[in-house]
Amino acid sequence: MSDFLPFALPLIGEDEINEVVDTLRSGWLTTGPKTAQFEKDFAEFVNAKHALAVNSATSGLHLALEAVGVGPGDVVITTTYTFTATAEVIRYLGADPILVDIDPKTFNMNPELLREALESHDNVKAIMPVHFAGQACDMDAILALAKEFDVKVVEDAAHALPTTYKGKVIGSLSDITVYSFYVTKTIATGEGGMIATENEDYLSRMKTMRLHGINRDVFDRYTSDKPSWFYEVVEPGYKYNMTDIAAALGIHQLKRACEFQQRREWMATQYNQAFSSLPLNTPYLARPEDTHAWHLYVLQLDLDSITVDRNRFIELMAEEKIGTSVHFIPLHLQPYWRDRYNYKQEDYPVALDVFNRAVSLPIYPKMTDEDVQNVIDAVVNVCAKVAK
């Protein structure tokens, strides 16, 4: 290979470009008709009653937790094996995250440990499962526990479009579901996210808080042919609205979501077949009949069978001109969370072990068949170099 293959790149087509140009020419760049169209299309896609576009999944999670009533002194249970945004939004509201360890096969929240956490805390307001890599959590178990303990469920579905759980698209199973359209995600608007809910009250609250706590959208106030300048600030809200420029991308990315997923799945299949005899474990599928979004493809190195650690493996992959990453550095190892809650490495042994062996490979629709083969060749070559 003469060129380095980046870990992730978006696939943007002429339809997206033309829609953005149309938006620029329209004169309406912030939240407006394109955003409304994207919300409508998205709600239909995930079979949800309502969808609300936001400027990031982080802001979406913040709005969702606020809408279900999370506040100072409350507890939200989530996983240690996630990006910091999942937990930081809990702190935004003055609440505390309670972390649970993960299932050693799926890397999703362990329902048995979730039950223990629910039984150990009286002030739990919500559960926030994370659909790791694009494979759905055990939602039957999570929803049953939420009902038993009378708590809300806000799904972090940043990886999970178009994931299904027992045939149902993630988006209408729980109280609120939040997606990410960050540049590396399964569909990309650069920055951006979407909230899906069945609940009218939650929708109304999040829509108000999305834009400074104002009870009318800017688009409604500035495009009417009658004077409509009046508005009321009913809460100290946030600035979390999506722009029409981002929505213009999203409208067409969404149309390609299933196509993108099929391409990612094909790549995952090629990897699985090529790596079956190597000193590593390929991703585990809990429900092969369901749709896995394949946002990530995470290897687990068999460290007992090779002569290097995970960090050196990544360096050797870079020498082969393949970009890789690690998903995730568990929250309990990060300085803020570790120091605030006095976590020790061994507090979450499964997440720690998974982290020490994890390598995420490139898996995105812009990759060519040759790129896929180059990734395979690099993994095979590195494994040959480091085998005991």
Phi, psi of 355 (to 5 degrees): -60, -45
Angle 262-326-247 (CA atoms, 0-180°, nearest 5)?
50
Torsion of CA 96, 156, 89, 122, to 10 degrees: -20
Catalytic residue among 34, 125, 152, 185: 185
Nearest alpha-carbon partner for 193 in 63, 33, 21, 328: 63
Residue 185 known to be catalytic:
yes
* Count of Cβ atoms closer than 10 Å to residue 8 Cβ: 19
- C-alpha to C-alpha distance for 221 and 195, rounded to whole angstroms: 23
Which tokens hold the place of 382? 């590195």
3-state class of 198 per DSSP? coil
CB 364 within 8 A of CB 182: no
- C-alpha to C-alpha distance for 164 and 291, rounded to whole angstroms: 5
3-state class of 127 per DSSP? strand
- C-alpha to C-alpha distance for 361 and 268, rounded to whole angstroms: 10
Q: What is the DSSP string of 237-296?
A: --B-BPPHHHHHHHHHHHHTHHHHHHHHHHHHHHHHHHTTTSSEEPPP-S-TTSPP--S-
Bridge partners, 52 (sequence order): 195
Bridge partners, 164 (sequence order): 169
CB 298 within 8 A of CB 318: no
Q: What is the DSSP letter of 331?
A: G
Active site residues: 185
